[in-house]
Amino acid sequence: MNRFHRFILDRKFACCLGGLLLVAAVGTGFKSEAGTPDDTGKIWSGTLVFTQLPKRTAAEKQGPLADGMLRQAYGEGARIVLWHPGTKPQPLVTGFHSAADPSVSFDGHKILFAGKRKAQDSWDIFEIEVDGAGLRQITKDMGNCRNPIYQATLFTLDSKEPWYQISFVSDLGHELNEYGPFPASDLYSCKLDGTELRRLTFNPSSDMDPWMLPDGRMMYATWQLSTLAHGLQGRVALHAVNTDGTGETIFAGEEGLRVKHMPCVTRSGLVAFIEADRL
């Protein structure tokens, strides 16, 4: 489940739920006398993991990039918390200058996130169990890595058995975005131990927001700017690609408003996303 809301939970943090995720409440230590009814009247008693952003950061003051086509890389000073209806939010990780972009494993037991232990560090991908145990680093020296997700298993003819992978967004290519003086981001994948790094997309603008589709492909938002067919500012469309980087196809491009981003898939198999003419 992926929804987008904005709350104020205390005086220091504004809670921006960019990718609000449903977590299986296994070993989280939360207690609640009863579930909470949703808009349909059904009782819901899951646990949420989300990112709390500091209020009035430099990124918030600066606003969107590229004349409203790209959002800021929010997350400096952020923290990840778990929340269950009827309880107070509890920090998931400690000892980090910044932690953001939580993504829950398919079995609900582990969480990927992007983090920086110190302010001057690059963003790396970490994994932790939902009870806060077992913290480990996955990426190192792979640029600024954000928006991690779990992929399905991958198997090749020369491998002994399938292995699990993750995907993430990184500026490892050290390429300037073709629109202006900031780095372009592309999709990458690697094993859960950080090996077998593979670049999946090669967009001279930027790719972002990966999400797994039920058919095993990965959907993502891609800024298409390289021709004037999309106008001077281009369009941010939704594309899909195989987990090995092959078979890129347009999922939703010319329809509707100029920007489509933050896609997710509902239980009924529908793709939901945020659409706007500018950010």
Does some domain include residue 53?
Answer: yes
Task: Check pLDDT > 60 for residue 229.
Answer: yes
| 3-class state of residue 155 by DSSP | coil
Torsion of the alpha carbons at 76, 116, 185 and 254, rounded to the nearest 10: -50
Q: What is the pLDDT of residue 39?
A: 56
- Band (pLDDT 50/70/90 cuts) for residue 10 is very low
What range does the domain containing 157 cover?
6-31+41-208
DSSP state of 13: E
Q: What total number of domains does the chain contain?
A: 1
Q: What is the pLDDT of residue 72?
A: 85
Q: What is the pLDDT of residue 85?
A: 82
* pLDDT tens readout for residues 150-207: 998 777 777 788 888 999 999 999 998 887 778 899 999 999 999 999 999 999 889 9
Q: What is the mean pLDDT of residues 87-106?
A: 94
Does some domain include residue 166?
Answer: yes
Which carries the bigger pLDDT value, residue 44 or residue 189? 189
Q: What is the mean pLDDT of the chain?
A: 83
Q: What is the pLDDT of residue 213?
A: 96
Reported pTM: 0.84
Task: Check pLDDT > 60 for residue 1.
Answer: no
Does some domain include residue 129?
Answer: yes
Q: Among residues 159, 125, 112, 146, which one has the least CA distance to residue 220?
A: 146
State percent of the chain over pLDDT 70.
82
* pLDDT tens readout for residues 106-151: 999 999 999 999 999 999 999 999 999 999 999 999 999 999 999 9
For the record, the structure tokens of 195 come out as 């090996």
Does some domain include residue 80?
Answer: yes
Measured between alpha carbons, how far apart are the two ends of the chain, in Å?
A: 23
d(CA 48, CA 135): 19
Does some domain include residue 227?
Answer: no
Does some domain include residue 244?
Answer: no
d(CA 64, CA 114): 21
Q: Are 212 and 223 in contact (CB under 8 A)?
A: no
Does some domain include residue 250?
Answer: no
Does some domain include residue 248?
Answer: no
Q: Among residues 83, 99, 81, which one has the least CA distance to residue 91?
A: 81
Q: Are 234 and 259 in contact (CB under 8 A)?
A: no
Q: Among residues 109, 111, 143, which one has the least CA distance to residue 126?
A: 111
Which carries the bigger pLDDT value, residue 245 or residue 254? 245
